[in-house]
Amino acid sequence: MTAGAAGRGPSSDCRPAMNVSPPPSQGFVMLEADGGAATSVVVPGANADWGRASRDDFLRVLRGAALLLLQREVPENVNALALDAAAELGVPVILVSPAPPLARSAGRVD
């Protein structure tokens, strides 16, 4: 989400922030008819391939952002990079899955 042009308010920008390879991950959840027990299958892809991500990448991507929605679907060190960059830029963060606590070097989650 970025600040809208000409004061029109927030807008969603769905363009990819970073180009990645392999393709995105996939997850499947199956529920049993009797009792609703869940079984999950995750096929790792781009969400597991963050070895090249840097603080500068997140500073570039988050500059001008109105909000960072952090769902913790990527490795914890990547979440920490994103959170640190958001803190430096003053971008508010919504942490969808706060448990267990996110280890990071700077910034804070309110």
Helices 55-62 & 76-89, crossing angle to 10 degrees?
Answer: 50
The conformational region for residue 92 under phi > 0 = left, psi -120 to 50 = alpha, else beta, is: beta
Give, for all 110 residues of the chain, the pLDDT tens digit. 444 444 545 556 655 555 556 666 677 788 888 888 888 887 767 666 677 788 898 999 899 899 998 887 778 888 888 999 999 999 999 988 766 666 654 445 44
